[in-house]
């Protein structure tokens, strides 16, 4: 194969950057999406009998009142705005809440529909929106382009696929897995009500009905509190499969026990596939796209690279040079997993331009485009 020019010195116009961006992102559309947004700001109108005063809060300077209000969860904030005219004025004028309504109205609707609006403060949501860098709380490497609703953390698509701590399960299974009574589980773990629809994060599943689910990581963390230690929780998993359990159930509960409570701290797509991977029936039901808003106030949803999308196909056709493959795929790992993952990875704007200067797939695409081949891999 002839050597191709490097991208490093190439001028990437906005048009070229857009052409190298995956405009469709089909693989990322298996989460909460397409929600109907309220026609105006989600604050309900005041009733005519609303009181005029906020009581003791009225005496606080505006800045202090804002510091107090952002500690409320969104549900409490909306309720507060309904009890007094002064409260509605204060809530309407709360910059942090305006930030959320302007940039992530769909996330607020998703939190409402999943009945998790009471779980996170306005400050927590704004911190996630404006976290700098906006990295995934699991791998700590990639842009976390999604919000995991139970914990209000940014996560990336790869970690949603690979990290067992980001799975959801039924309260019954969580209780059985971690030996918790119904009241013990309810005391420490919020319940998410799913929004009916089709979801797809690694595994596809249609959910026509509402499921009540809990986060595996939150259930495991709470079990450590109830049972006294992480070691006590680990001892709850039978060493061998009980006769009454299916192999799938044993693998599933084993995977819940293996869920890390802290950040994985690395790119999980670079690890070999584990033998006991049980399909996730609820992938995507607890996550939604989350833009990043930096100091300039512009929302950045991230971009996927069209060059990376061709890597898996190049490899399948024998067209991926060995030195490139060695750089992208660790020994002992099937190439398809990390290569597929690169095609679904989101980059914030600055990082994307940095990436396409170094991306081998982009080099290949540009070479073909320069030769007049319009859409060699059917990307457009
Ligand atoms: Zn991640
Ligand atoms: Zn790329």
DSSP secondary structure string for all residues of 113-134: HTT-TTSSBHHHHHHHHH-SS-
Structure tokens at 202: 């690694």
Whether 363 maps to a domain, the answer reads: yes
Using the mean position of ligand 1's atoms as its centre, give its distance from the Cα of residue 65 in Å.
Answer: 36
Q: How many domains does the chain have?
A: 3
Based on the fold, state whether residues 263 and 337 are members of the same structural domain: no
Q: Same structural domain for residues 309 and 352?
A: yes
* Closest-approaching ligand to the CA atom of 160: 1
Establish if 225 belongs to a structural domain. Answer: yes
In a domain, 142, yes or no: no
Question: Could you tell me if residue 297 is inside a domain?
Answer: no
Q: Tell whether the model's pLDDT for residue 148 goes beyond 70.
A: yes
Is residue 213 within 8 Å of 170, Cβ to Cβ?
yes
Are 116 and 187 part of one and the same domain?
no
The sheet carrying 153-155 orders its strands as 153-155, 146-148, 287-289
- Examine the domain organization and report whether 190 and 271 are in the same domain: yes
Predicted confidence at residue 278, as pLDDT, reads: 78
State in Å: Cα 31 to ligand 2 middle: 23
Q: Which of 286, 290, 311 is nearest to 302 (CA)?
A: 290
Mean pLDDT for 351-377 is 91
Length of the chain, please? 380
- pLDDT greater than 60 at residue 119: yes
Residue 144 placed within a domain: no
pLDDT at 308 over 80: yes
122 and 189 in a common domain = no
Q: Residue 317 is part of which domain span?
A: 1-22+303-380
State the Cα–Cα distance between residues 366 and 268, nearest whole angstrom: 30
Distance 146 CA to ligand 2 centre (A): 20
User: What CA–CA distance (Å, rounded) separates 116 from 341?
Assistant: 30
In terms of domains, do 323 and 357 share one?
yes
CA 182–ligand 2 middle distance (angstroms): 47
Residue at 181 is within a domain = yes
My answer on whether 104 and 37 are in the same domain is yes
What pLDDT score was predicted for residue 46? Answer: 47
User: Given this model, what pLDDT does residue 52 score?
Assistant: 58
Q: Report pLDDT digits (tens) over 222-241.
A: 999 999 999 999 999 999 99
Residue 50 predicted with pLDDT over 70: no
Centroid of ligand 2 to alpha carbon of 305 (angstroms): 5
Q: Is residue 172 part of a domain?
A: yes
pLDDT band at 155 (very low <50, low <70, confident <90, very high): very high
Is 139 inside a domain boundary? Answer: no
Instruction: Please report where in the chains the tokens 């319009």 appear, as a residue.
Output: 374
**321: phi > 0 → left, psi -120 to 50 → alpha, else beta; which?**
beta
- CA–centroid distance, residue 293 to ligand 2 (Å): 23
Same domain, 158 and 198: yes
Kind plus residue range of the DSSP H or E element containing 221: helix 216-227
CA pair distance 17, 61, nearest whole angstrom: 47
Question: Are 158 and 196 found together in one domain?
Answer: yes
Residues 347 and 374 grouped into a single domain: yes
Task: Kindly state whether residues 196 and 212 are assigned to the same domain.
Answer: yes
Q: What average pLDDT is seen over the chain?
A: 91
Distance 142 CA to ligand 1 centre (A): 5
Distances (CA, A) of 118 to 115, 150, 191: 7, 11, 11
Mean pLDDT for 348-362 is 95
Identify the three-state secondary structure at position 193. strand
Q: What is the pLDDT of residues 179-196, one digit of tens each?
A: 999 999 999 999 999 999
Distance 118 CA to ligand 1 centre (A): 26
Going from the Cα of 34 to the center of ligand 2, the distance in angstroms, rounded, reads 28
* Out of 14-28, 104-118, 272-286, least confident range: 272-286
Instruction: Give the model's confidence band at 61: pLDDT under 50 very low, under 70 low, under 90 confident, else very high.
Output: confident
CA–centroid distance, residue 145 to ligand 2 (Å): 17
Question: Do 66 and 123 fall within a single domain?
Answer: yes
């Amino acid at each position: 194969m002839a050597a191709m020019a490097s991208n490093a010195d190439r001028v990437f116009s906005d048009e070229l950057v857009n052409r190298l961006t995956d405009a469709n992102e089909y693989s990322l559309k298996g989460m909460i999406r397409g929600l109907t947004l309220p026609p105006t700001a989600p604050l309900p109108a005041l009733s005519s009998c609303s009181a005029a005063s906020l009581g003791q809060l009225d005496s606080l300077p505006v800045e202090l009142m804002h510091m107090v209000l952002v500690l409320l969860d969104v549900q409490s904030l909306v309720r507060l705005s309904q009890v007094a005219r002064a409260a509605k004025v204060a809530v309407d004028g709360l910059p942090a809440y305006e930030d959320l309504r302007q940039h992530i109205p769909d996330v607020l609707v998703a939190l409402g529909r999943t009945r998790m609006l009471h779980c996170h403060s306005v400050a927590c949501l704004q911190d996630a929106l404006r976290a700098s860098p906006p990295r995934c709380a699991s791998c700590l490497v990639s842009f976390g382009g999604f919000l995991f609703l139970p914990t209000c953390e940014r996560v990336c698509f790869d970690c949603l696929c690979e990290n067992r701590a980001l799975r959801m399960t039924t309260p019954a299974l969580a209780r059985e897995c971690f030996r918790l009574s119904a009241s013990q589980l309810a005391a420490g773990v919020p319940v998410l009500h799913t929004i009916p629809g089709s979801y797809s994060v690694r595994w596809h599943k249609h959910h026509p009905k509402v499921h009540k689910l809990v986060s595996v990581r939150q259930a495991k963390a709470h079990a450590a509190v109830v049972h006294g230690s992480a070691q006590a929780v680990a001892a709850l998993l039978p060493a061998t499969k009980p006769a009454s359990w299916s192999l799938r159930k044993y693998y599933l509960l084993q995977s819940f026990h293996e869920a890390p409570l802290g950040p994985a701290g690395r790119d999980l797509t670079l690890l070999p596939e584990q033998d006991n991977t049980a399909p996730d029936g609820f992938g995507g039901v607890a996550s939604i796209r989350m833009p990043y808003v930096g100091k300039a106030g512009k929302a950045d949803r991230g971009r996927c690279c069209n060059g990376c999308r061709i890597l898996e196909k190049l490899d399948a056709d024998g067209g991926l040079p060995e030195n490139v493959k060695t750089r992208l795929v660790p020994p002992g790992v099937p190439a398809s997993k990390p290569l597929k993952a690169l095609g679904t990875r989101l980059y914030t704007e600055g990082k994307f331009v940095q990436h396409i200067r170094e991306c081998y797939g982009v080099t290949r695409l540009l070479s073909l485009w320069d030769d007049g081949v319009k859409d060699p891999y059917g990307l457009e």
